[in-house]
Amino acid sequence: MSDLARTPKQIGTLIQRARKKRDWTQQQLAERAGLRQATISTIESGEKPAKLDTILAVLAALDLEFRIGARSKGDASDIEKIF
C-alpha cells in the first residue's frame, strides 16, 4: 500500500481503508493501538487533526509506516482522484 495523503481527512480515509481491508472494527483497531474506539472514529472522519504519536500507534497496529518524501507537483485534482 503506497498512497498519498495531505490532509487529516485523507489520512483518515486511508486508515479506514486499511482497517476494513483487515475486516477489523474500529474497536479492534483501537485495542491493538492502545486507544479508545472514539479516537479511531475521530481519526477516520478527519474531524480534527490527531497527534502524531496517535497516528503512529494506529499505523503500527495496521502494520503500516509513515514516510516523508518530496511533495509531488501534480494538481489538486490528481490527489482527489485517489479518494
Q: What is the pLDDT of residue 78?
A: 56
pLDDT digits over 8-61, tens only?
999 999 999 999 999 999 999 999 999 999 999 999 999 888 999 999 999 999
Q: What is the pLDDT of residue 70?
A: 87
Where does the pLDDT of residue 80 fall: very low under 50, low under 70, confident under 90, or very high at 90 and above?
Answer: low
Where does the pLDDT of residue 81 fall: very low under 50, low under 70, confident under 90, or very high at 90 and above?
Answer: low
In CATH terms, the superfamily for domain 8-62 is lambda repressor-like DNA-binding domains (1.10.260.40)
17 touches 9 (CB < 8 A): no
Amino acid identity of 81? K
Domain map (residue ranges) of the chain: 8-62
pLDDT digits over 47-74, tens only?
888 999 999 999 999 999 998 888 877 6
Q: What is the pLDDT of residue 47?
A: 87
